[in-house]
Structure 1
Amino acid sequence: MTVENDASGITILRKAESVMTLLEKVGEASATEIAAAVHEPVSSTYRLLGSLSALGWVDQTATRGRYRLGLHILRIGALLEDRLDVRRAILPVLESVRDRTRNTAFLCFRRGDNAVCVERLGGRDVQDLAMRVGDSYPLYRGAAPRAILSFLPEADREELLARATELRKQGERVPDPGIMRDQIGMAREAGFTVSDADVTPGIMAFGAPIYNHRGDLAGAISLSGLRERILAPESNTADEVLEAARRSSEALGYPAAKEAVA
């Protein structure tokens, strides 16, 4: 019975995919046109379109009986495109700072109460296996995640800290909110965060926020390496990550970054 249900579910998803692909190509179509294009009876196509409409995946147009991709799907597509554009725009900056400092460079985006690594350029001196592309860390752990947390809008930041407090009460391994607030205050004053072996023993990292053309927090970058090398007198990792963050924001059209260059 489970196998049959799974097969039925996959069949429905495939039909939905056919409808979505068609609407992506033609813009809008009637239920009859959709049924003919995807080789399904009109009656079952109407039922499928009703389900997709309820999910926000398709919308009816002003002309009765015609359908187009829903706003929900379009928003997801726009968000994905924005993030791909961010990665593409910032990659040259990350490559430059990685080559210059020999440290590992990261780019992270926020995903709920976590930060997900979307780009990682390995350093020349050490190959740290922590935070690989696709890995997700809580916003209170690691330099780039804490940079996102520290520079979130105040309301978002307070909501996240409140949730962290509840998790701590439930026995989860969450830092004391008072300590997190102190770290946030220091980060906002300095413009960067510091992660001292709290992800990987012997590894230290600096992180800084990046902003898009609307002035919104787009994510964060970080540089990590061996602790003794990061702390060496000749090292200027904090300045490097701040400059890389400024250049990244500039690449995304952040007005303040452009004014700073002018």
Structure 2
Amino acid sequence: MANVTTPQKMLRILDLIEDSPIPVTTEVMLEQLGFTRSTLYRHLKSLSEAGLISSIPDTGFTFGPRITELDYKMRLRDPLISAARPVMAELAKSEHGVALLCRRYRDRVLCIHQEAGDISFRSNYERGLARNLFRGAASRIILAYLSPATINRLYAKFPGEFAAAALGHSAAAARQTLRQIRQQGWEVTEAQVTQGVTGIAAPLFDMRGDILGSLSLTIKAQDLTPTNRNHLIERVRFCSAIIRTAIRQD
């Protein structure tokens, strides 16, 4: 513990609160984190004063109002969201689905923006919801563009998840499957996250050509037919290209 810096200790507190379905008491923190009581109280005071956490009497600690404020400012100022919002709105409206903008976060994928075009259809992949890298088109297209070293690390950590998602029963097989997805430049999955729902995704890249995230269109499974399949795939890829161009111009 002596080598853990103060910022790292604070992040561990936030991680513990994030992973808990209920407010976290100081006693649970002491047990889980191994901090001394004085160290824990000092960091809780700093995080509380910053508004990042809040205490509920006789209940424990949860996230504070500063988190909500930061989320609001992110939605206003994030250049990726700003570039994608009008494109996503038009895509969702014209194709009667839900457009999702996702980014990789640690070893998972996070939805950072959603646009719905059909009030009769809703996606349960809401903004702020994290999912794994292995299921759903929005996640798998990001996974496909990660480096071989990163894929090897992920396979060593999650071999069962790779196998369950039909990505391969070895690191080499997983890399081959992901190479095929990368070569075609898009991914389509059906009912991998939600029954009766199909996802179509294309990658988004930063200025250096590294994977930044994904744009996906979620529709009812019956709305994807042999007749419109290629059209929808190309629409998502075209919209992804527009967003990439807008980011470069900014």
- Taking structure 2 as the reference length, what is the TM-score of the superposition? 0.64
What percentage of aligned pairs have identical amino acids? 23
| Residue aligning to 1:91 | 85
Q: 1:202 to 1:112 in 2, by over 3 A?
A: same
| Residue aligning to 2:154 | 160
Secondary structure at the aligned position of 2:47 is classed as helix
How many Å separate the matches in 1 of 2:241 and 2:26?
A: 53
Are the aligned partners of 1:123 and 1:225 in contact in 2 as well (CA < 8 Å)?
no
List aligned pairs for 1:142-157, cutoff 5 A.
142-157=136-151
| Residue aligning to 2:34 | none
Higher mean displacement: 127-136 or 237-246: 127-136
Q: Aligned-pair distance for 1:126?
A: 4.1
How many Å separate the matches in 2 of 1:232 and 1:212?
A: 32
Does residue 240 of the first structure (1) align with residue 231 of the second (2)? no
Aligned counterpart in structure 2 of residue 113 of structure 1, from 102, 107, 115: 107
Residue type of the partner of 2:45? T
Does residue 177 of the first structure (1) align with residue 168 of the second (2)? yes
| Residue aligning to 2:247 | 252
Residue by residue, what CA displacement relative to the aligned partner does 1:194-214 show, whole Å, maximum 9, x if unpaired? 111111111111111101222
How many Å separate the matches in 2 of 1:159 and 1:116?
A: 20
How many Å separate the matches in 1 of 2:87 and 2:123?
A: 22
Q: Considering only aligned residues, what root-mean-square deviation do their CA atoms show, in Å? A: 3.2
Residue by residue, what CA displacement relative to the aligned partner does 1:211-242 show, whole Å, maximum 9, x if unpaired? 12222211001011111212251451111111
List aligned pairs for 1:132-143, cutoff 5 A.
132-143=126-137
| Residue aligning to 1:70 | none
Q: 1:135 to 1:241 in 2, by over 3 A?
A: same
Aligned counterpart in structure 2 of residue 103 of structure 1, from 82, 97, 117: 97
Q: Aligned-pair distance for 1:14?
A: 4.8
Secondary structure at the aligned position of 1:11 is classed as helix
| Residue aligning to 1:229 | 223
Residue by residue, what CA displacement relative to the aligned partner does 1:83-107 show, whole Å, maximum 9, x if unpaired? 8221112112111211221221000
Are the aligned partners of 2:101 and 2:114 in contact in 1 as well (CA < 8 Å)?
yes
Unmatched 5+ stretches in structure 1: 19-79, 255-262
Aligned counterpart in structure 2 of residue 13 of structure 1, from 40, 47, 50: 47
| Residue aligning to 2:209 | 215
| Residue aligning to 2:194 | 200
Are the aligned partners of 2:204 and 2:214 in contact in 1 as well (CA < 8 Å)?
yes
Secondary structure at the aligned position of 1:89 is classed as helix
Residue type of the partner of 2:168? P
Q: 1:119 to 1:12 in 2, by over 3 A?
A: closer
Q: Aligned-pair distance for 1:9?
A: 4.9
Q: 1:233 to 1:211 in 2, by over 3 A?
A: same
Secondary structure at the aligned position of 1:131 is classed as coil
- Taking structure 1 as the reference length, what is the TM-score of the superposition? 0.62
